[in-house]
Amino acid sequence: MVTAAAARTGGAVRRRLIVLLALAVASVGCAPRTRPLTGIPFPQRLPETTLPPGHTRLVFRWEYGDPIFSARGEGVARIAPPDSVRLDFFADGNLGGGFAILIGDRLTTPANDEAVRYLPPVPLLWAALGRLQVVGVDTVALVAGDTLRADIGRSPVWRAAFSGTSLVSLQRLDGNRLREAVQRDSAVISYRNFGSRRRLTLTLLRRLVDPPFDEAIWHR
């Protein structure tokens, strides 16, 4: 005999499964399709993308959103070439903040907590700062107009786009689907994860040249 309580429990489980299935289907559907590269073959090496010389501080506004959470505020990025950056985020309304330290291919947050999930993965975070940090075989590069695009690697495929020698976007492709992307120009940097529907936008306010940073900022 099935009791009323068991029936309610079973109904709740089925509803949760239906919701999870719907979210999974929506995630697949939200990932845009990609097309093969077009243009003229580019036989040269891809442009060198490095951090600017000296110590730089970027002041920005940030805005984050996903299906269940959103926040905004101010932030500072302290950049030290060749491969180090500290990002500090302060939420509006005195609601706290946090920081992340990126050195090479290692991204850390306080106590290595899950706040890192709000940020792009390392290759895309470097791309947000204008540095291409992906490698792979089977690179295909084509020029169309004044834009150079290159597909790098196999699984995943990274699609980079350059205007002149500047990196303007980096995308992570899975098959014929676009899974994540960073787009950047002189004033706005945007990151999107199409599967989880996460979005992070940085609007640059000021770019300052600083003296060398205190070593302590890389350890706390």
The answer as to whether 28 is a domain residue is no
Determine the pLDDT at residue 109.
87
For the whole prediction, is pTM greater than 0.75? yes
Distance CA 51, CA 53 (A): 6
Q: What 3 state SS string does the chain have?
A: CCCHHHHHHHHHHHHHHHHHHHHHHHHHHHCCECCCCCCEECCCCCCCCCCCCCEEEEEEEEEEECCCCEEEEEEEEEEECCCEEEEEEEEHHHCCEEEEEEECCEEECHHHCHHHHHCCCHHHHHHHCCCCCCCCCCCEEEEECCEEEEEECCCCEEEEEEECCEEEEEEEEECCEEEEEEEECCCEEEEEECCCCEEEEEEEEEEEEECCCCHHHHCC
Structure token digits, residue 51:
């951090």
The answer as to whether 25 is a domain residue is no
The answer as to whether 100 is a domain residue is yes
Q: What's the total number of domains in the chain?
A: 1
pLDDT in tens, 32-82: 888 888 999 998 889 989 998 899 999 999 999 999 989 999 999 999 999
Determine the pLDDT at residue 112.
67
Determine the pLDDT at residue 4.
41
Determine the pLDDT at residue 16.
43
CATH of the domain at 139: 2.50.20
The answer as to whether 213 is a domain residue is yes
The answer as to whether 143 is a domain residue is yes
Residue ranges making up the domain that contains 180? 40-218
Structure token digits, residue 181:
């992307």
pLDDT-flagged residues of the chain (< 70): 1-29, 112-115, 220
The answer as to whether 83 is a domain residue is yes
Distance CA 212, CA 80 (A): 8
The answer as to whether 4 is a domain residue is no
The answer as to whether 1 is a domain residue is no
105 Cβ neighbours under 8 A, 6+ residues apart: 122, 133
